[in-house]
Amino acid sequence: MASKSKESRIEQKRYWETKLEHRLGALAEKGADPRNAAKDPAVKKMRAYLRETEARLKTITSLEVKAEEMAKKKAEKAAAPKEEKGKKGKAKQETQEMSKRQQKKKKKKEPKA
C-alpha cells in the first residue's frame, strides 16, 4: 500500500470497492440489515482503506497540479527578457542614491550661508 503512483492507487481503490461489495453482498445473503452491516468490522476496515486511498489520490492530484503551475512559471520566466547586470548600472544607482550618512557628511562639509 506504500505506492506513490496514481495508477496503482486507482487499482487499489477498485480492489477495495469490489471487496466491500462482496462483503456487503454476503451480509445481505445472511439476512443482516444495512445498519448492522455498517457496524461489521470487516466493512469498517474496507471503508477505512477506501478513505485512505482516496485521500492519497487527492494528494497526488494536487501535487501534479502544483508541478504544472511551477512548469508554467518557469517557462514564463525563461521567456521574459533578461535584465542586464553590469557594473555600469550599479555605479549609476550608487551615485544617485546616497545613504543618509553620506548626505549628512556632505551637508557638514558645505559652508553655512
Query: Where do the H-state alpha helices sit in 3-40?
Result: 6-30, 34-38
Higher pLDDT: 32 or 47? It is 47
Which amino acid makes up residue 11? E
Tell me: the pLDDT tens digits for 49-86?
999 999 999 999 999 999 999 999 999 998 888 876 66
Is residue 41 domain-resident? yes
Is residue 13 domain-resident? yes
Compute the Cα dihedral for 110, 100, 86, 89 and give only its sign. Answer: negative
What is the per-residue pLDDT for 62?
95
Is residue 2 domain-resident? yes
Is residue 112 domain-resident? no
Is residue 108 domain-resident? no
Is residue 30 domain-resident? yes
Q: What is the pTM for the complete model shown? A: 0.61
d(CA 96, CA 93): 5
Is residue 32 domain-resident? yes
Domain that holds residue 34: 1-78
Phi-psi region of 13 (alpha: psi -120 to 50; beta: other; left: phi over 0): alpha
Is residue 48 domain-resident? yes
pLDDT mean over 9-34: 92
Task: Provide the number of structural domains found in the chain.
Answer: 1
